[in-house]
């Protein structure tokens, strides 16, 4: 019999827990416990008292600790595997648990720092990692900073990766990266500039102008603002009218009527 696959915790795009290719249903408090451990504590242990008070801030310390014990007791154990390693005063996730957020952050760091692209960005898994927000349907206050932190990391990674792919003339993959950034944040000017630069490098001037005008209309509708001079300068050669030849000034000596005056 093949050994069971490690559990996989998904936090990007929504919460999901899969063990041996089978989804594991969890009550809401258990989901929040795993999310807290995965986002705030990673591979280091969390103190039980601190975690309980954070999850049940309105309860007394004794009640919060009781709530945490209840959540731990009710956690499922797929095939006898523990989803949370519990010690006397600490909790931690098992070492073999795979978390898509950790993979996404590692990929974003590599894409921002590597000299060469790791692989074409047509891979579906990579697009999923960098194209989704952290738990977008959760409204917990503690998540706002962590969500924005990951959003900025993945947007910068997509833009830098697209720029390197453009330089290598891998235009299809460069557009995939740039448009993923645009979909993630439609008002982000640097993402639109990235897409426009790819179109210009490929010689698709009409596509570059279409992207610019789409962004200009969106910016006006949503914020009432014009595009910045930076992006306007990028498409300025495509927006300007042909330069008209200047007429040579008429010499007063040969101006009409001079002969008659004489």
Is residue 2 pLDDT above 60, yes or no? Answer: no
Q: Give the start-to-end residue ranges of the domains of the chain.
A: 8-96, 99-239
pLDDT per position as a tens digit, 112-155: 887 555 555 445 677 778 999 999 999 988 899 999 999 999 99
8-96 has which fold? Answer: Arc Repressor Mutant, subunit A (1.10.10)
Q: How confident is the model at residue 248 (pLDDT cuts 50, 70, 90)?
A: low
Q: What is the CATH number of domain 99-239?
A: 1.25.40.10
Q: How confident is the model at residue 27 (pLDDT cuts 50, 70, 90)?
A: very high
pLDDT per position as a tens digit, 58-107: 999 999 999 999 999 999 988 788 899 998 899 999 988 999 999 999 88
Q: Exposed/middle/buried for 83, CB within 10 Å: 0-12, 13-18, 19+?
A: buried
What's 10's DSSP letter? E
H helical segments located in 75-188: 100-113, 124-130, 143-167, 171-184
């Amino acid at each position: 019999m093949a050994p069971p696959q490690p559990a996989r915790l998904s936090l990007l795009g929504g919460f999901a827990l899969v063990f041996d290719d089978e989804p594991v249903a969890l009550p809401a408090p258990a989901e929040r416990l795993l999310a807290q451990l995965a986002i705030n504590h990673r591979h280091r242990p969390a103190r039980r008292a601190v975690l309980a008070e954070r999850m049940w801030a309105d309860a007394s310390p004794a009640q919060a600790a009781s709530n945490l014990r209840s959540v731990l007791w009710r956690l499922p154990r797929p095939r006898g595997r523990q989803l949370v390693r519990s010690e006397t005063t600490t909790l931690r996730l098992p070492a073999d648990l795979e978390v898509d957020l950790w993979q996404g952050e590692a990929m974003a760091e590599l894409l921002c720092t590597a000299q060469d692209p790791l692989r074409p960005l047509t891979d579906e898994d990579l697009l999923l990692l960098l194209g989704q927000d952290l738990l977008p349907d959760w409204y917990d206050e503690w998540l706002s900073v962590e969500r924005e932190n990951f959003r900025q990391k993945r947007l910068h990674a997509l833009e830098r990766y697209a720029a390197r792919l453009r330089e290598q003339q891998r235009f299809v993959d460069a557009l995939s990266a740039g448009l993923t950034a645009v979909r993630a944040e439609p008002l982000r000017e640097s993402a639109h500039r990235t897409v426009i630069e790819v179109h210009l490098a490929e010689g698709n001037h009409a596509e570059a102008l279409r992207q610019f005008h789409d962004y200009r209309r969106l910016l006006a509708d949503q914020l009432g603002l014009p595009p910045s001079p930076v992006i306007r300068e990028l498409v300025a050669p495509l927006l300007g009218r042909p330069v008209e030849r200047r007429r040579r000034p008429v010499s007063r000596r040969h101006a009409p009527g001079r002969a008659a005056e004489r």
